[in-house]
Every structure is written in C-alpha cells, then in structure tokens.
Amino acid sequence: EIKENTVVTVHYTGTLPSNGDTFDSSLERDPLTFLVGHKQMIPGFEREMLGATVGEKREFTLKSEDAYGPYMEDAVQQVPPDMFGEIAPKEGMTLMSDIGPLRVTKVEDDLITVDFNHALAGEDLIFNVEVIEIRDATEEEITHGHAHGPGGHHH
C-alpha cells in the first residue's frame, strides 16, 4: 500500500470545482511516478492517497492551501519592458526568473504586468486517481528524494 518511501505510479485527472474544467490529466500520456514523503507532490495529494492499494481509485477535493497555496495579490507586479532584456513579453507567456516562474498577464507600452502566483494558486482542486503500481523505493531514490526509472526522474 502507499506509504512513506514507496514509489507510486498513478493515472490522474485534475478538475476545477468552479467550472469543471480539466487542468491536467495523465490519461493521454504516461502515468505519473513519484516517491512518497519527499515533497515531490503537492501536500494534500499524498495525504489523500496514503493507504491506497494497486487498482484502487480515489476521488478527493483539495483546498487551495493543500494544493498550490493561496493566491497572493502582492505576487502581481508591474515592471518596465527592459526587465525582459531581449525577450519581447507577450500575454500568457511563462518565463523563469531568479525567484521562480512568472506569467505575463498584461502588456502595455511602458508597463508589463507579471504574476508570480502558480497558475492554480487559490484554486480548490478535484483529483480522480487510479493506482497503477506500488513498489519500495531504493536507497538511492530515498537519498536523492525522487523516483528513478520509467515515469520517474532520469539521470
């Protein structure tokens, strides 16, 4: 069963309770593999899957604080275009910065609005999860803090 230091492979679909939209699903690609207990996943996801066995399906709703955290108004900032160097900022663009990913949400002539919130910040999330495989983690995986092998992290 799923517990700390197991490597778990699941198929999952995430939807938004607010409008029913699917924001992410593994069903059109390979299932997701992760090491339990090492912060590879958002906190509520692992908590809700603890104790599940192979073939089991679970559906649960996570509050935003157990998912991608609250939406923070002060994580929205306005910056001059020259902050982007050679990149021409466009609305909807996601860029990496020194303090994490940011999304460009508005482009005006002399002012660019950027949002450091995760795209799912402030959202409650519904997950439908099916457990495909469970195995014990190797010593190396536990040391690294992530899963290796197919569907996991590669070196």
C-beta of 11 vs 153, nearer to Zn ion: 153
DSSP string, 19-69: T--EEEESTTSPPEEEETTTTSS-HHHHHHHTT--TT-EEEEEE-GGGTT-
- 110, 83 Cβ separation under 8 angstroms: no
Report which residue's Cβ sits closest to Zn ion. 144
- How many residues of this chain interact with Zn ion, rule: CB under 5 A? 1
Angle at 34 between CA 29 and CA 5, to 5 degrees: 155
Q: Is 144 in the site for Zn ion (CB under 5 A)?
A: yes
CB of 98 to Zn ion, least distance (A): 25
Two structure tokens written together for 96: 């990496």
Q: Is 3 in the site for Zn ion (CB under 5 A)?
A: no
In the DSSP assignment, the letter for residue 154 is: -
Question: Near Zn ion by CB under 5 A, which window of 29-37, 101-109, 117-125, 138-146?
Answer: 138-146
- 70, 48 Cβ separation under 8 angstroms: no
CB of 144 to Zn ion, least distance (A): 3
C-beta of 58 vs 148, nearer to Zn ion: 148
State which of positions 42-101 bind Zn ion (CB under 5 A): none
Question: Near Zn ion by CB under 5 A, which window of 25-33, 34-42, 76-84, 137-145?
Answer: 137-145
CB of 38 to Zn ion, least distance (A): 11
C-beta of 6 vs 117, nearer to Zn ion: 6
Q: How far apart are CA 76 and CA 95, in angstroms?
A: 14
Question: What are the residues binding Zn ion (CB under 5 A)?
Answer: 144
